[in-house]
Structure 1
Amino acid sequence: GAFLRQQRAVVQRSDLRSILPSITCPTAIIHGAADRLIPLAAAEETTAAMPAATFTIIEGAGHFLFHERPAAARDAV
């Protein structure tokens, strides 16, 4: 149902990586070290493309890091 619709929308959306350098506001990119849905390299690429981005890896967390490691995620924000 809803999960499959969401996944189809993600796969079919436009690639907007070219606009990342134009985002100049402070941006926190927080990634679970054990995320099996989005590779760590994707988060690193996004961070590198954004001039005001900070990058935090949450050890012991996967894709749902705010649920899996709420205190660490909160501290990263």
Structure 2
Amino acid sequence: MEDSEVAVELRQVTKRFGSFTAVKNVSLRIREGEFFSLLGPSGCGKTTNLRMIAGFELPSDGEIYLHGQPVGQLPPFKR
């Protein structure tokens, strides 16, 4: 599976709501066909990360890529 394409990539993604930082400097790669889980306590940013990947929230900093293409400004229905 190491040779498979990177399907989702977050590069130093941060999300702030006012003075509150919900997600700070997250970088990860999920390859095509990989099983992936976000685990953590309530309020740690799991849902915020998923909402940014889906396009329902925009990152304050950093970049999100789907299949190597930047999607930071694409609406959810085009992802």
TM-score w.r.t. structure 1 length?
Answer: 0.24
Which structure has greater strand proportion?
A: 2
Larger C-alpha radius of gyration, 1 or 2? Answer: 1
Which structure has greater helix proportion?
A: 1
TM-score w.r.t. structure 2 length?
Answer: 0.24
Q: Which has the higher contact order (CA 8 A, sep 6+)?
A: 2
